[in-house]
């Protein structure tokens, strides 16, 4: 059997934790910070864990973790 390819976009955007959860950057942090409140900007620092439903979709594109 040939090897399966990982989707390039998933490779760049997501990482797996040791326990198998999917880690991603916070949504809504790319541009337009002027219209966001300071509280929003503060709460969107760092990374977040995806919900189980979203993680299931992402893991389909990462055949080898």
What does the domain layout of the chain look like in residue ranges? 8-60
Tell me, letter by letter, the H, E, C secondary structure of 47-60.
EEECCHHHHHHHHH
Confidence category of residue 18, pLDDT binned at 50, 70, 90: very high
Specify the fold of 8-60: Factor Xa Inhibitor (4.10.410)
pLDDT at 52: 96
Asked if pLDDT for residue 65 goes beyond 90, the answer is no
User: Is residue 58 within 8 Å of 50, Cβ to Cβ?
Assistant: yes
Confidence category of residue 57, pLDDT binned at 50, 70, 90: very high
Cα distances from 6 to residues 13, 43, 51, in angstroms, run: 12, 31, 21
Asked if pLDDT for residue 14 goes beyond 90, the answer is yes
Mean predicted confidence (pLDDT) in 36-53: 96
Residues in a beta bridge with 48: 24
């Amino acid at each position: 059997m040939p090897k399966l390819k990982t989707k390039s976009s998933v490779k760049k955007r997501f990482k797996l934790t040791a326990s198998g959860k999917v880690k991603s950057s916070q949504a809504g942090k790319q541009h337009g910070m002027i219209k966001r409140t300071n509280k929003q900007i503060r709460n969107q620092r760092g990374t977040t864990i995806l919900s189980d439903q979203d993680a299931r979709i992402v893991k389909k594109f990462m055949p080898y973790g």
